[in-house]
Amino acid sequence: MTDMRTAAIAANRFGFGARPGDLRAIAGDPRGWIKAQFAPQASMPAPIAALPPGEDDLLAFGRWIAARRLRRGNAEGIERQAERQGVSDEELRMLSTEEDFIATFRSRAVTAIGARIEAAITSSAPARERAVHFWSNHFTVSAAKPAAIALPPSFEREAIRPHVAGNFTDMLAASTQHPGMLIYLDNWLSVGPNSVAVQRRARRAHGQGQLTGINENLAREILELHTLGVGGGYGQADVQSLAAILTGWTYDRPRLIDYVREARGERSGASLFEFDAPAHEPGAHMLLGRVYLEGGVAQGERALADLAQHPSTARFIATKLTRHYIADDPPPTAVARVAAAYARSDGDLRATMDAVVDCDEAWADPFAKFKRPEEYAISALRAANIQTLPVGAGAAAIGAMGQRVYAAPGPDGWSDRAESWLSADLVYKRIEFAQTYGERTARADIDARQIGEDALGPLFSADTRQAVQRAESPAQALTLLFASPEFQRR
């Protein structure tokens, strides 16, 4: 009995909820079940592996923008580019009339969201999938910013997913070098005021409208949201230094000719991270009391590695992890324990995760956390053993409950505190979801009592069992199960 209770906590709190049969399999060793999922080698979930790479997303987005610009008033610039790059008028016209770019682009966004949900509902390593969602939210790249609209899925796959059982230093570097982040937080617009590029431009007469300065956005958020955290011991001078160190960190922007080559079926020239040496601010910079000598891209890589190992980072990461896995206001003992594991292992996320699992506080209150809409929907889908979804259905339902997948409102990502999700309107919409989903799922051979038992085990309360038992229809029984307090919490 105790083991089934622990298994239910493991499945709901660390995974994405139990599918039929999961609890029995987990009950033998719930902590071991979680830890085993963080083995270094893991295969990519099939729906994710089937998505196009970030290079393609960049091309698709750039092509879409180019096509839009061609249809608007300011086409002269693009026509000049075409001439310089050897793109014929006819090819340019093709680009401007191919309306299906937009359809293609929209449908790939829908496909990517569907893949994320499908990976989570079908996964046999749901704790690892949850970690992907956690870190993807820690390093938020959001489609709410139009310029980044195409990139959150490939960012998550390429910068986050490979490192969830690896080292935080590598994840931080991969995040900071991915076009998704470089675009989302504007670093591609940042150039050193004393850089070769700016000096060269200043000598030319028509330098107007060109980039001439540092954009601090990425540097600030790295310090505030990705590593040290607010109050982590950095100041404005550190933000400026890190911003200077990161000048020249950009991506290989596709040119017009790349879109045309892609349309011709030739391989494109797009790639991802690029260090643009001429845009880099030269010189040594002082960051958090340490001097980083000039060294091109290595200067920034050294700075990020040191930030990852900073004691404030250990504390900040430990706080966020324990807030996600234990309680909105995590117990200080748990934070200290996880921070120590992070520091001892030099940021090894497997060892850090093990420490979270080994906190007794994580197993005390099974309902300390209120599920966010996405995890709530995923757990409901897993409970009924749903394997595939109609195109766009998951995104629509989760969006209606207040969480647009891959489109968090700001760089701090989705809130991990219950009060953000307990508004009257959002709670009501969850009940609407529970009813709609319950009605669609109800079939003669589906028994809500069994689904509740399989998903919640001993956490299935007597009150809810009785309510489900007394429901007037199978659909209402499922609605009551999915709307119940124990199903909405973890």
Partner 1 sequence: MKPMQLSRRLLLAAGGAALSFPALSWAQAGGAKKLVLVVLRGGLDGLAALAPIGDPDYTRVRGRLAQADALALNGMFALHPRLPKFNALYQAGELLPVHACATPYRERSHFDAQNVLESGAAQPFGRDSGWLNAALGTLSTSAGRERGLALSAQAPLVLRGPNAVATWSPSALPAPASDTIARVMDLYERSDPALATALHGAIAANSLVDGADGAGARGPRAVSALARVAATFLRQTDGPTAAVVEMSGWDTHANQGLEQGPLARNLGALDDGLDTLKTELGPAWRDTLVVIITEFGRTAAPNGAGGTDHGTAAAAFLAGGVVAGGRVLSDWPGLSAGALLERRDLRPTTDLRAVLKGALADHLRVSSAALGRDVFPDSAALAPIQGLLRA
Q: List the beta bridge partners of residue 275.
A: 249
Give residues with Cβ within 8 angstroms of 301, minimum separation 6: 173
Q: Which is nearer to partner 1, 157 or 489 (CB)?
A: 489
End-to-end distance of the chain based on CA atoms, in angstroms?
18
Residue among 116, 144, 22 at smallest CA distance from 398: 116
Q: Which is nearer to partner 1, 338 or 397 (CB)?
A: 397
Q: How far is CA 39 from CA 36, 96, 138, 258, in A?
A: 6, 48, 21, 39
Stretch that binds partner 1, among 129-137, 249-257, 299-307, 411-419 (CB under 8 A): 411-419
Count of residues in contact with partner 1, rule CB under 8 A: 48
State which of residues 334, 349, 362, 471 lies at the interface with partner 1 (CB under 8 A). 471
Stretch that binds partner 1, among 16-24, 278-286, 287-295, 427-435 (CB under 8 A): 427-435
Supply 37's token pair: 């999922």
Using the structure block, give the residue that is written with the tokens 């609209």: 149
The pattern of x and - marking residues 330 through 369 that bind partner 1 according to CB under 8 A reads ----------------------------------------
Q: List the beta bridge partners of residue 285.
A: 292
Alpha-carbon gap, residue 135 to 139, rounded angstroms: 6
Question: Is residue 411 part of the contact set for partner 1 (CB under 8 A)?
Answer: yes
The pattern of x and - marking residues 430 through 469 that bind partner 1 according to CB under 8 A reads -xxxxxx------------------------x-xx--x--
Question: Is residue 422 part of the contact set for partner 1 (CB under 8 A)?
Answer: yes
State which of residues 86, 231, 282, 485 lies at the interface with partner 1 (CB under 8 A). 485
Q: Which is nearer to partner 1, 43 or 74 (CB)?
A: 74
Question: Is residue 140 part of the contact set for partner 1 (CB under 8 A)?
Answer: no
Q: Which is nearer to partner 1, 192 or 411 (CB)?
A: 411
Q: List the beta bridge partners of residue 249.
A: 275
Question: Is residue 418 part of the contact set for partner 1 (CB under 8 A)?
Answer: yes
Stretch that binds partner 1, among 45-53, 143-151, 376-384, 385-393 (CB under 8 A): 143-151
Footprint on residues 37-96 left by partner 1 (CB under 8 A)? 71-75
Q: How far is CA 369 from CA 11, 345, 426, in A?
A: 13, 28, 16
Q: Please give the single-letter amino acid code of residue 353.
A: M
DSSP 3-state of 319? helix
Supply 108's token pair: 């790939």
Minimum Å gap between C-beta 165 and partner 1 is: 31
Q: Which is nearer to partner 1, 137 or 476 (CB)?
A: 476
Phi-psi region of 86 (alpha: psi -120 to 50; beta: other; left: phi over 0): left
Footprint on residues 231-250 left by partner 1 (CB under 8 A)? none
Q: How far is CA 2 from CA 5, 345, 363, 367, 464, in A?
A: 5, 32, 11, 16, 20
Which residues are at the interface with partner 1 (CB under 8 A)? 71-75, 144-147, 217, 370, 396, 400-402, 409-412, 418, 422-429, 431-436, 461, 463-464, 467, 471-472, 476, 479-480, 483-485, 488-489
